[in-house]
């Protein structure tokens, strides 16, 4: 009787250990990343309902999202690649940022974009540099600033502080 009880406990322990091992390896294999940022107008006010499109010619991935009432956007589950980000809002010039490199498991802050007043037929192009983008690790660590190059080499430094909770609020609910 005792032996049967010990075998049952051992088999349950073995099954639970196996399930824990399988679960931890499945969760550890992240193959996509997230791009997020903020869109403002020249006065510093947030631009809501701006269309943000990220596109990669390399892997053929493309996704379009809209900014929330705080001007924030989040583009989750994108495969690793180099992306072009295009922001389009009524009454503003279209803004394009090229060379945004996303790796697997990255939470990449593409920065704060200030749209210029004008027609959407006009385009402002921003070149991204690896040193200008902010990465957030799984532990929540991140750099304190990000720079965005704008036209003729003008650079503005934007202090960025976001809580993980605020970023989670931006992910579309399905």
Over residues 126-173, the pLDDT tens digits come to 655 544 454 454 444 444 333 333 333 333 333 333 444 455 555 665
Encode pLDDT of 80-108 as tens digits.
999 999 999 999 999 999 999 999 888 99
Encode pLDDT of 50-72 as tens digits.
999 999 989 999 999 999 999 99
Q: How far is residue 23 CA from its own chain's centroid?
A: 25
Q: Which residue has the tokens 């920065």?
A: 111
pTM of the model: 0.58
Q: Where are the alpha helices (DSSP H) in 60-122?
A: none
Distances (CA, A) of 4 to 8, 11, 15: 6, 11, 16
CB 78 within 8 A of CB 58: no
The CA distance from 99 to 102, in Å, is 9
């Amino acid at each position: 009787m005792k032996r049967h009880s010990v075998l049952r406990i051992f088999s349950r322990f073995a099954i639970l250990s196996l399930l824990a091992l399988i679960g931890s390896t499945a969760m550890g294999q992240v193959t996509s990343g997230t791009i997020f940022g903020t869109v403002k107008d020249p006065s510093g006010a947030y631009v809501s309902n701006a269309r943000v499109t990220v596109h990669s010619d390399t892997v053929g991935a493309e996704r379009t999202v809209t900014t929330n009432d705080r001007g924030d956007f989040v583009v989750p589950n994108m495969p690793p690649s180099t992306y072009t980000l295009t922001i389009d809002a009524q009454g503003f010039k279209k803004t394009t940022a090229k060379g945004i490199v996303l790796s697997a498991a990255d939470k990449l802050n593409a920065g704060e974009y200030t749209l210029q007043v004008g027609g959407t037929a006009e385009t402002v192009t921003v070149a991204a540099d690896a040193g200008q983008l902010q990465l957030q690790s799984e532990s929540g660590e991140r750099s304190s600033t990000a720079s965005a190059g704008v036209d003729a080499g003008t650079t503005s430094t934007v202090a960025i502080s976001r809580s993980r909770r605020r970023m989670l609020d931006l992910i579309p609910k399905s």
